[in-house]
Amino acid sequence: MRYIPVTCDQREAMLRAVGVSSTDELFTDVPGGARLGRPLELPNGLSEMELSAHLRAMAAGNTPAASLVNFAGAGCYDHYIPSVVDHVTRRPEFFTAYTPYQPEVSQGTLQAIYEYQTMICELTGMDVANASMYDGATAFVEAALMACRVTKRDTVVVSVALHPEWLDTLSTYAESGLIDVVFVGAVDGLTDFDALASAVDETTAAVMVGSPNFFGNLEDVSRASRIATAAGALTVAAVNPILLGVVRSPASQGADIAIAEGQPLGNPMSFGGPGLGIFACKSAYLRQMPGRLVGRTVDADGNDAFVLTLSTREQHIRREKATSNICSNHALNALAAGAYLAAVGREGLAGVASASVAKAHYLRDGLLTTGKFRPVGEGRFGYEFALLFDGDAEDFHRKMLDKGYLAGVVVGQPDDDNDLILFAVTERRTKAEIDAFVAEVMSL
């Protein structure tokens, strides 16, 4: 009965209730050529014990990242998650909550979102943050659309040094005709700012860059802002929230909108998702910001109260007034990010970032000494960096995987003789692990 929702007796009773004698008679209106006419080709059913063993055997075909020495990143990072984060997110009042439209029964969820928004504003230096978005790519696209609404222009100038999946997502939206996208190239892992300046004109709604960019390099957001401002456009900066513990905020560098993938903040890798999209901006653009926003007010008794404020603009009854078609937010993932930030605090976040950066530089120096890698430019980087491998990068990756290492992410072939590998090093990696990895590379 656990796996068979309808018994034979129940099925017969339903057939009698609609006045037919069999299932075949029930479907007589369906043409014979469209009906299968034979049993489904499915194996015999399993007992619970057999099914459990079968599923365990299937799961054993995966290699959990936690069982490897992980140097992969490219948007999903192996940071340590304090145990308190899991305890908070698994509380039933958070774990089962849906949309907090009724504030009288949703104060806990609403306050958690409000605190998350506040922390994101502290990190980014922005005036206001929303309740989160689906992921970094969604936030990136919504920033482009918002800039077009604010400026009443329809073109965005975008650095190709941003995450390629984000660029693909933006291109998909552009195919609808909503916006025009001008892509600007990169040189040695950094945005070509001369080309960017040439691409910006009076039709440009936004200049979109990342710092760090996809290759891990820190970009000159201030320069991008000056170019954008001179043309009356907005500046959108994509950031890594962990690095904001030690680098200047996007707001202090002139950005108007800051977006990020929030997975590094207390969310497990989980085979690539889910994460959350971080979105923050200046208060001047508040009413054009997509997604939900929680505000603080007082109730009839004068006590603090939290509510969804402004309006549910993504579901606006006048569709032309909607700021977005996003219909929800990643509240549980945002809760994890808030719990993580509360647990590590300002100094703890700076410590995580500093340790990650130091270890990344140590690994890069070690790999270059092997003679098997060459640098891609000399840009400043955080805790992720790209190197050219002299040989077959895919073969190198497989060999290192056999030795228990996730040796970065192979991201492209800049020329016929070299493959580009993107390495990331978080605070979880030890000096012993890094030294052992470099030694294995040397021995190949």
Instruction: Kindly calculate the radius of gyration of the chain based on its CA atoms and give it in whole angstroms.
Output: 26
Given the DSSP bridges, would you call strands 190-191 and 204-210 parallel, antiparallel or unpaired? Answer: unpaired
How confident is the model over 103-129, as a mean pLDDT? 94
Please say if the pLDDT value at position 137 is more than 90: yes
Residue finishing a domain among 340, 361, 386: 340
The whole-angstrom separation of Cα 67 and Cα 419 is 26
Domain end point (choices 320, 340, 360):
340
Give the per-residue pLDDT at 141: 96
Residue 39 in any domain: the answer is no
pLDDT band for position 36 (50/70/90)? confident
Residues 303 and 429 in one domain: no
Please check whether residue 352 lies inside any domain of the structure: yes
Higher pLDDT: 443 or 2? It is: 443
Give a yes or no: residue 175 inside a domain: yes
Alpha carbon distance 131, 186 (integer Å): 33
Q: 332 versus 5: which is more confidently predicted?
A: 332
> What's the Cα-to-Cα distance from 352 to each of 196, 197, 211, 337, 432, rounded to whole Å?
33, 35, 18, 14, 18
User: Looking at residues 36-48, what average pLDDT do you find?
Assistant: 87
Residue 207 lies in a domain: yes
In a domain, 10, yes or no: no
pLDDT at 45: 83
Q: How confident is the model at residue 311 (pLDDT cuts 50, 70, 90)?
A: low
Q: Rounded mean pLDDT of 129-133?
A: 95
Of 36-40, 160-164, 193-197, 321-325, least confident by mean pLDDT is: 321-325
Whether 118 maps to a domain, the answer reads yes
- Mean pLDDT, to the nearest integer, of 81-92? 94
Q: What is the pLDDT of residue 428?
A: 97
Same domain membership, residue 123 and residue 237: yes
Residues 71 and 98 in one domain: no
Asked whether 215 and 386 are in contact (CB, 8 A), the reply is yes
Number of structural domains (the chain) is: 2
Per-residue pLDDT, 320: 65
State which residues form the domain around 105: 83-340
Q: What is the pLDDT of residues 144-192, one digit of tens each?
A: 999 999 999 999 999 999 999 999 999 999 998 889 999 999 999 999 9
More confidently predicted of 324 and 111: 111
Average pLDDT over residues 359-379: 95
- Please say whether the beta carbons of 128 and 286 come within 8 A: yes
Same domain, 323 and 308: yes
pLDDT band at 2 (very low <50, low <70, confident <90, very high): low
Q: Let me know whether 361 and 239 are in one domain.
A: no
Sequence-distant contacts of 266-273: CB under 8 A, at least 24 apart: 266/81, 266/82, 266/85, 266/336, 266/337, 266/339, 266/340, 266/341, 266/343, 267/81, 267/333, 267/336, 267/337, 268/81, 269/65, 269/76, 269/77, 269/78, 271/62, 272/76, 273/76, 273/135
Whether 91 and 142 share a structural domain: yes
What pLDDT does residue 317 have?
A: 60
Query: Tell me: the pLDDT tens digits for 225-256?
Result: 999 999 999 999 999 999 999 999 999 999 99
Nearest to 431 by CA among 360, 345, 353, 330: 360
261 and 126 part of one domain: yes
Same domain, 322 and 420: no
pLDDT at 314 over 80: no
Whether the per-residue pLDDT at 373 is higher than 70: the answer is yes
Mean pLDDT of 19-25: 92
The mean predicted confidence, pLDDT, of the chain is 92
Residue 260: closest CA among 283, 276, 281, 282: 276
Residues 192-219 have pLDDT tens digits of 999 999 999 999 999 999 999 999 999 9
Domain boundary, last residue among 314, 340, 366: 340
Question: pLDDT > 90: what percent of the chain?
Answer: 77
Statement to judge: residues 243 and 371 lie in one domain: no
CA distances from 328 to 272, 291, 306 (A): 20, 7, 18
**40 token code pair:** 């489904």
Residue 104: per-residue pLDDT: 82
Q: Is 152 exposed, middle or buried (0-12, 13-18, 19+ CB in 10 A)?
A: exposed
pLDDT at 100: 77
pLDDT band at 98 (very low <50, low <70, confident <90, very high): low
Report pLDDT digits (tens) over 253-304: 999 999 999 999 999 999 888 999 999 999 999 999 998 899 999 999 999 9
The tokens describing 315, both together, are 């579901």
Q: What is the CATH number of the domain that holds 436?
A: 3.90.1150.10
For residue 83, pLDDT over 80 is answered with: yes
CATH of the domain at 270: 3.40.640.10
Q: Which stretch of 46-55, 90-99, 226-235, 337-346 has the lowest confidence by average pLDDT?
A: 90-99
Give 387-432 pLDDT, tens digit per residue: 999 999 999 999 999 999 999 999 975 455 568 999 999 999 999 9
Do 124 and 220 have their domain in common?
A: yes
In 3D space, the residue among 140, 112, 31, 103 whose CA is nearest the CA of residue 305 turns out to be 103
State whether 144 and 256 are in the same domain.
yes
Q: Is the residue at 424 inside a domain?
A: yes
29 found inside a domain: no
Q: Which of 9-13, 105-109, 308-312, 406-410 has the lowest mean pLDDT?
A: 308-312
Q: Do 352 and 252 share a structural domain?
A: no
